[in-house]
Chains A and B, each alone.
Chain A
Amino acid sequence: DQQVKQNSPSLSVQEGRISILNCDYTNSMFDYFLWYKKYPAEGPTFLISISSIKDKNEDGRFTVFLNKSAKHLSLHIVPSQPGDSAVYFCAASNTGNQFYFGTGTSLTVIP
């Protein structure tokens, strides 16, 4: 059973606008969350993380929001750039154990 879900397989956004990627999880014991970015023919690369003691973490154009009560996290990219076009995976773990990955959202930023 998929413990981490990304319900939107794809998203298209105009350059300069905000991209919002969503992720839902079912296991309330998860306490650490990450976003990875993956270009074709490359492995995923780490983007940003958040622990359950926070509800927001920001790194430049990237912000991750965590809503524990809703078991939901989102990644905001603003402003979006064509180089942001990639597949984005969210991942969650219960500290000390394995990560569970979502199915990915393919983001296309249109110039």
Chain B
Amino acid sequence: DVKVTQSSRYLVKRTGEKVFLECVQDMDHENMFWYRQDPGLGLRLIYFSYDVKMKEKGDIPEGYSVSREKKERFSLILESASTNQTSMYLCASSQLTGMDTQYFGPGTRLTVL
């Protein structure tokens, strides 16, 4: 069974704090993704990575950065958290791009006060 784990289920941070969201997958997948899910907007892609140390911007990268030092781990970083980054963050992985199922983690509900 594919397993994608995220470091926290719930997180509360203050405006201006630096926030790290961690994601680990155990299936040796090449690709990893970070999405945020907001009511009425669905899932929107923030960043993705198709290889170690490689990253690509998604649709909404502003205010975020990512790090992929190891194949199994993909981190999302909020350099200076703001209230409009309060959201559900979902990590996913897949073996191939485009025509392959993405496997999702359980999500991190981040609240920025």
Contact = CB atoms under 8 A, between A and B. Distances in A.
Interface of A: 2, 4, 6, 9, 32, 34, 36, 41-46, 49, 51, 89, 91, 93-104
- List the 9 closest A-B pairs by CB distance, nearest first: A43-B104, A101-B43, A103-B42, A96-B98, A95-B98, A46-B101, A101-B42, A93-B98, A32-B99
Contacts of A41: 9, 106-107
B45 interface: yes
B99 A43 contact: no
A91 B33 CA distance: 14
Contacts of B106: 41-43
Contacts of B4: 43
A103 B99 contact: no
A23 B58 CA distance: 22
Nearest to A90: B42
Contacts of A95: 98-99
B42 A102 contact: yes
B102 interface: yes
B99 A93 contact: yes
A98 B45 contact: yes
B83 interface: no
